[in-house]
Amino acid sequence: MAISSKSRRYPSPFPRALVTLFFAFLLFARAASRVLPEDSTGDQTWNQTTVNQAGNNQTGNQTRINQIGSDQTGNQTAASSRRRLLQSNNWSQPSSGPVDVNRAYKVLAKYVTVDIAGILLRMAFHDAGTYDKSSGTGGANGSLKYELSRALNEPISSHWSVIESIKGGLPNVSYADVIFLAGFYAIHITGGPLVTSVRTGRVDASVADPDNRLPLSSWNADQLTSHFGDAYGFGCQELVALSGAHSIGTSKVTPPLGPMDDTSRVFDVRYYQKLVNGGGSFPSDKALSQSSDTSPYVRTYAGDQDAWWAEFVDALKKIGDLGATYES
Ligand code: HEM
């Protein structure tokens, strides 16, 4: 009662029309920043924090590799054009087109820890690694989400909820982009390069890719080089550079179980040094130092982290292009 008599004597200085206008403006501003609704401030502290989590101070290399590419413009196509594309191709999942990678990484920073970096990087390979050059089918199209029941994806399926959480923070970004951005973010959070020149705008497939297209850990060097050449169009350098992903993570179901190497939380060249000394987790790893086609790269990377990082980043970008359809 006291309040109503007070408000009669001192009418509000904000007339109802002004208040309505203010809220209308807020709604408009929110719609205009539709790409990443969870984007917060423009500061870069997230970057430092995540590098620190890896317990690895590599600022010199970091700076050099950071220059590998410049930021993407985040150019967005009109909603009507997106709808037309999705309808004409019968794709299942809307994509926002190209994404502002720096802003996406801020969302990823909320969900990704060093503990799950390995499995996220592996997801990027398993989404893209179904590509078959001769038929032009499979590839980096987000179809991994339909392939979780496959034997080789067993550890991936039990961590898939992380992708769904990230997707919740990036609702307009396709699964294919989320998976690859998470893969790139995984190498950064474990002390590797921060790569912002990642192409995005991949459109998701609506069905699973054909099965039995991923390489096996029992394979020898000939089988690996044939597969990477025939199916992906890659050479020995890309095979060896990409295999260095086994620098991080843990083997969860494939013997020998446990950390991939003794610095498995750091994206470093310990993996290659182990191979040079006759070690390695799986036969497919050991094979790389036993073949004259691949061993020169193993030796080079064992002593040159900058070279490996640069070639790994190039190869990961290439694998992320396999079979990808981009909305521009
Ligand atoms: C060259 C052929 C490859 C073979 C045969 C292979 C095989 C495997 C196997 C058997 C595991 C252990 C899975 C488990 O039991 O948990 C593994 C783990 C892993 N792979 Fe590969 N892989 C290959 C290439 C790649 C590539 C190209 C990447 C990424 C660019 C990659 C990233 C990873 C990562 C990060 C892990 C650790 C996963 C975790 O922490 O859960 N692999 N790989």
Per-domain residue ranges of the chain: 59-328
The whole-angstrom separation of Cα 263 and Cα 55 is 11
Q: What is the pLDDT of residues 121-144, one digit of tens each?
A: 999 999 999 999 999 999 999 999
pLDDT of residue 20: 60
State the fold for domain 59-328: Peroxidase; domain 2 (1.10.420)
Please tell me the distance between residue 217's alpha carbon and the centre of ligand 1 in angstroms: 8
pLDDT of residue 46: 38
User: Ligand 1 in contact with 260 (CB < 6 A)?
Assistant: yes
User: Ligand 1 in contact with 167 (CB < 6 A)?
Assistant: no
pTM to 2 decimal places: 0.79
pLDDT of residue 328: 80
User: Ligand 1 in contact with 190 (CB < 6 A)?
Assistant: no
Q: Which residues of the chain have pLDDT under 50?
A: 1-11, 28-91
Please tell me the distance between residue 138's alpha carbon and the centre of ligand 1 in angstroms: 19
Helices (H), the chain: 2-9, 16-32, 45-53, 59-66, 79-89, 101-111, 114-128, 154-157, 160-169, 175-189, 221-230, 236-243, 270-276, 283-286, 295-303, 305-319
pLDDT of residue 97: 82
